[in-house]
Structure 1
């Protein structure tokens, strides 16, 4: 039986399947692919952000003629939403639906107050990021964004994670445009005005907006996971009905 493809695009932290613990089970119903963005690898050295390369990774995952049918649904978290939106603008025929979880699409809302305040807070840090150690950048980034200190056990992956974070380009530099005609769900955690502002902007362009507990990772909650699954199922039914 043919399974529709669902492509998962991670944010700035964990990557691949590890970024989507609640969505693993969707592989029973869908052809689920858990991507790794440019510069995210368990062995190779982290690389600087390349927005176009990330979008290309998403498009290659969708445009697989070997399945007998191209395209699929895209679910993206935080900075991964940038690649998802860029891919949908370039090839809307391949993107059956977009689910954007806490999307870091700051270049769309650059003139709005919460986004402008966020940029003013982080721009000075990004301006000097290449003069800081990986650990110093990570510590200051966490302090400014989450008003917290860096915590957690130090592992063999910790230095690479810190370096990868420092190499991430600021989201407000992404070349984003509104995606025309693609069914879109925006899922936020209701904890941070920045993401609610972005969600409000996307809602005004036609997106559906839902909130769920879980802070910056609402997809890890039962409610958030349920919202994602329900939206994709409905988008699949609607697409099938139009094709019939």
Structure 2
């Protein structure tokens, strides 16, 4: 890859670890401050890329500030690669999405009432599978604390028309109805959608990911 890129992480891995199959000699890997809001993250992207034409890569909830920044009109955006983008605002009303939002809302209410265990009993199977295990609580408590207060990917006024005119590749893992519904809406508004099965929420970990990205970016450069 010879283009200048900005890589935006999701809620998990950061830096080059978030994009293990891409060449790391080009571009910049953001790492947002812990606890930063989505709007603060938008500001970081705008400041980071104000003076150069860039491709933007974003994973999961990282797609929210990335799309908002790309749509601001303040940046020179060559294209977007959105991996399992958590753009829940564009699919409100879809049953799997509303079930997810309802469960997270209930879990956070439990945490706000001081019942972090009750929160984790809801979030753990939703986010990671399995059930709450009292014997694993001491080990998993930091995860519970993190997911009880991290940003949620809805309520940010993201709309599919924000990407009009921006070449966009959406890559999903074919494992989750919520992300496939989001990709379907984006594809209906002009995005290219590719499903890469085998790594669930992290298709960028698959060796074929880089080839699909290269094909997309190469086509845009001609």
Q: Return the TM-score normalized by structure 2.
A: 0.84
Q: How many angstroms apart in 2 are the aligned matches of 1:150 and 1:8?
A: 34
Q: How many angstroms apart in 1 are the aligned matches of 2:53 and 2:116?
A: 38
Q: Find the counterpart in structure 1 of residue 201 from structure 2.
A: 216
Q: Find the counterpart in structure 1 of residue 187 from structure 2.
A: 203
Q: What do residues 106-134 of structure 1 show as CA deviations (whole Å, max 9, x unaligned)?
A: 01111222212222222211233334476
| Alignment length (residue pairs) | 214
Is contact 2:172–2:180 with CA below 8 Å preserved after alignment?
yes
Q: Find the counterpart in structure 2 of residue 5 from structure 1.
A: 4
Q: How many angstroms apart in 1 are the aligned matches of 2:8 and 2:169?
A: 15
Q: How many angstroms apart in 1 are the aligned matches of 2:186 and 2:204?
A: 18
1:123 matched to 2:112? The reply is no
Secondary structure at 2:71 match in 1: helix
Q: What do residues 209-242 of structure 1 show as CA deviations (whole Å, max 9, x unaligned)?
A: 001121000010012232123222322x14xxxx
Question: How does 1:1-244 map onto structure 2 within 5 Å?
Answer: 4-23=3-22, 25-27=23-25, 30=26, 32-39=27-34, 47=35, 49-63=36-50, 65=51, 70-91=52-73, 93-132=75-114, 137=119, 140-149=122-131, 162-177=144-159, 178-213=162-197, 214-235=199-220, 237-238=221-222
Secondary structure at 2:6 match in 1: strand
Q: CA deviation at 1:105?
A: 0.5
Q: How many angstroms apart in 2 are the aligned matches of 1:57 and 1:150?
A: 36
> Cα distance 1:231–1:143, how it changes in 2: closer, same or farther (>3 A)?
same
Is contact 2:6–2:56 with CA below 8 Å preserved after alignment?
yes
Aligned Cα RMSD in Å? 2.6
Q: How many angstroms apart in 2 are the aligned matches of 1:92 and 1:200?
A: 27
Q: How many angstroms apart in 2 are the aligned matches of 1:117 and 1:34?
A: 33
Q: How many angstroms apart in 2 are the aligned matches of 1:221 and 1:164?
A: 27
Is contact 1:5–1:62 with CA below 8 Å preserved after alignment?
no
> Cα distance 1:7–1:103, how it changes in 2: closer, same or farther (>3 A)?
same
Q: Return the TM-score normalized by structure 1.
A: 0.77
> Cα distance 1:159–1:117, how it changes in 2: closer, same or farther (>3 A)?
closer
Q: Which runs of 5+ in 1 are unaligned?
A: 40-46, 239-244
Q: CA deviation at 1:52?
A: 1.0
